[in-house]
Structure formats: structure tokens, C-alpha cells
Chains A and B, each alone.
Chain A
Amino acid sequence: MEDKALNELMAEFDKQLDSGGNPAITGKVKGINRKNGMRYYFIRTCFELFIGLITLNFLVSFLLNNLSSPSIVISASLIAVFSVAIIFASVRQLLLILKFDFNRDVVTNQSILTELQTRFLFWLRISILQIPFFLVYIILGFALFFNVDIWVHGDKTWLYCNIILGAVLLIPVVWLFTKLTPENVEVPWVRKVVMLAGGDHLIQSMEYLEQLKSFKNS
């Protein structure tokens, strides 16, 4: 098709888009107390931040009360590191929400919205990253619920086996953590994992995030 022919068709299409009446909406608009979509993300993020802070506060208190037990101190510290990561991520998310403004350009706003929609990916990745540290949860659980330090009283062979297992898991888990990102959404196995964990909606949001990136940069 020639350039001229396409331009003429496009001009006709433009006229067609401009057809149709103006619905009488302006009178209604001002009366609507519309729920802001951002409010949901704001409440959700505040809740996450609150849970993160409560957890961190509890872990620090527990740690300070058990300073004589190195295994409990190490376990509580490791879990506290994850809590801090969650708190940081929540604060970053809150800043994103506060940054959202319809007066901004389309790509920036769409990127913010889509990033908020891919929040589950963060939870999936951070959950996976904790797998090699399963022993610290067991140690802390026993200390908390049964007041028993299993590092002192438990079977040493079983404990060392679990440490080795955790160490072995560390490399594949870190690798998995680095792979589960929107950049890899087209990798078939990444797609399957994300689909199983977060569903089609999460896949679509990850794809759109990549689209936005390439739209801005290419």
C-alpha cells in the first residue's frame, strides 16, 4: 500500500473515531464520590508495612531476651533480615503510590500501576529465598512454643544434615530468585512457575511491564 493511500484511510478512520454524540456526563461527574483505585494499594501496603514492623519488633525483643543463646540470636537475626527487606519493599511501594499522579505522562503512570499489580512476584521471590533457611524457623519455633533450644538439645547429626541441605539449596534458590523477574517472562519454565503461583493476571502484568520498558527505550 502506498503512503498516500494509507494516510487517506487514516484520516477517514480519524473522522470515524470522532463520530457519536457527547453523553451528558458533565453534570454527573462532580457529584460522584469515586473510590480511588490507589486506595486499595495504599491500604494493602500499609498493612504489609505494619506486619513487617510488628514482626521486626517481636524478633528484636526475642533476640535481646535470648542473647545467651547464639543459635536463637542467629535465627532471629536471619528472619529479621527478611523482615527488613519486606519493610523496605513496602516503603518503596508506598513512595510509588504517593508518586502516582494522573498529571504525569502515560508511561510513568502505567509503569507505577503495573508495578503495583506485580506485587505478588515480590512475595513469591522472597518466599523462595527463605527456603534454604528453613532450619532457623524450626529453631525459633521450638524456642518460642516449647522453650527448647534444639541446637543444644537436638540430634547433632539431624541438625548438621539440615544445615548441609540448606547450604545445597542456597545456590539453586538464589539462581531461581534472580530468574523470576519480568525480564524473563517469556522463558517457558519461568512462565509456568509464575502461572502456577500467581495466575494469568500476574503473567499479563509482567509482560506489560516489559512492554512499557521497551516502549520507553526502543
Chain B
Amino acid sequence: MIKNESAFEKLLEQNYGIIRKISNLYGQSPDDKADLSQEISIQLWHAFPKFDENQKFSTWMYRIALNVAISHYRKNRTKGNFFTQYDENLHNIPASGEENRENKLALLEKFISELKELDKALMLLYLEKKKHEEIADILGISVSNAGTKIGRIKQLLKQKFDSYKGE
């Protein structure tokens, strides 16, 4: 593969969903998400000459994008939590219906936003249906560790839902 601008743009376009998801997960406002998307793309472009063609582009992209997003998030998190705005509306979950579904989804967003930076990354990769081996490779942990952590986070989310119902 020739590592030129057009090759990069093509690969970026094909995999842009990764940047979008990561920016939506770690960005705290629409502007912040746009900044983060830009920042990730810049770092990808700078790192592109070192991209090892023997590995999957998406795996390489996840590594860089998550690194950039976590650093960006840590730098900006003191500016406020985007998800706190949901709090007041979430106390009364109706028994059934579409509204109930939306509220539960909003609650899930809130609970995921409360996860630690690295746990969020793990959840994102899990949602992407990545194999434990690939998750471990991207994050730099053992395969068994990745599996255990996913189980723990899911358990934590369930507990949060249950305790929210009880309130």
C-alpha cells in the first residue's frame, strides 16, 4: 500500500465511524466532539507513515483514537460533565412504552459516562463486537483480563439500573 494522502483519506473515510463513536463517547459538548474528531484525525495523519500494513487498519486506528480521546478527556474534564443535564429527568421511569425505553437509554448513557476513562474504552470495543484478543491488543492488557473486566462492567451497569429502580 502506498502511504500517501489519498490512501489515508480513503482509509479514514471507510473507518470514520470509529472517530465518530469515540468523539461522541468522550466529547463533552458538540464543539468538544468536533475538536476531538479533528485532533484524532490529525494524530492519525501524523502516525500514518508508521502504520504497519500487517495489522488491521481499524485496530491501529482504535489505538491512536482512544489514546488521543482519553488524553483530551482528561485535559478537559474539569470543564464540566455533559451528562449531568439528564439527572433531573431520570428519576421517574414509566412502567412501559417508548418513553421508558428512551429514559433507560438516557440512564445507560449516564452510567457509561460515569465509568472511568479506560473502562469506557473497553465498553466501546465490546459494543463494536471486537474479540477479546483484539480488545487486549488495542488496550495493552491480557486477554483474560479483558474478558473479566467486560463482565465486571456489565455487572456494574446492571447493579446501577437495579439500584436506580429502587430509589
Q: Pick the contact of B127 from A17, A104, A105 — CB < 8 Å?
A: A17
> A22 to B47, Cβ gap below 8 A?
no
Q: Pick the contact of A106 from B33, B41, B66, B101 — CB < 8 Å?
A: B66
B25 in the interface, Cβ–Cβ < 8 Å?
yes
Chain B residues, Cβ within 8 Å of A208: 74
- Contact-size category for A: 35 or more
Q: Pick the contact of A26 from B9, B127, B140 — CB < 8 Å?
A: B9
Q: How far is the CB of B132 from chain A (nearest CB, A)?
A: 14
Chain A interface SS verdict (over half) = helix
CA distance A36 to B42 in the complex (A): 11
Chain A residues, Cβ within 8 Å of B20: 17-18, 20, 22
Chain B residues, Cβ within 8 Å of A6: 154, 157-158, 161
CA distance A105 to B134 in the complex (A): 11
Number of interface residues of B (CB under 8 A): 59
CA distance A16 to B102 in the complex (A): 11
Q: Pick the contact of B139 from A11, A16, A106 — CB < 8 Å?
A: A106
Select from chain A the residue with minimum beta-carbon distance to B55: A103
CA distance A103 to B137 in the complex (A): 11
List CB contacts (< 8 Å) of A173-218 with chain B. Answer: 204, 208, 211-212, 215-218
List CB contacts (< 8 Å) of B11-28 with chain A. Answer: 12-13, 16-17, 20-21, 24-25
Given contacts A17-B21, A32-B42, A113 and B154 within 8 Å (CB-CB): no
Chain B interface SS verdict (over half) = helix
Chain A residues, Cβ within 8 Å of B139: 105-107
> B64 to A102, Cβ gap below 8 A?
yes
> A110 to B71, Cβ gap below 8 A?
yes
Chain A residues, Cβ within 8 Å of B161: 1, 6
A14 in the interface, Cβ–Cβ < 8 Å?
yes
Chain A residues, Cβ within 8 Å of B64: 102-103
Given contacts A10-B108, A110-B71, A216 and B140 within 8 Å (CB-CB): yes
Chain B residues, Cβ within 8 Å of A153: none
Interface, chain A (partner B; CB < 8 A): 1, 3, 6, 9-14, 16-20, 22-23, 25-26, 28-30, 32, 34, 36-37, 101-110, 113, 204, 208, 211-212, 215-218
Q: Please list 11 pairs of residues, one from A and one from B, whose beta carbons are closer than 8 Å in the complex, sorted by A's number.
A: A10-B127, A18-B21, A26-B41, A30-B8, A36-B46, A102-B46, A102-B67, A105-B63, A105-B137, A208-B74, A211-B116
Interface, chain B (partner A; CB < 8 A): 5, 8-9, 12-13, 16-17, 20-21, 24-25, 33-34, 37-38, 41-47, 50-52, 60, 63-64, 66-68, 70-71, 74, 101, 104-105, 108-109, 112, 116, 118-119, 121, 124, 127-128, 137-141, 145, 149, 154, 157-158, 161-162
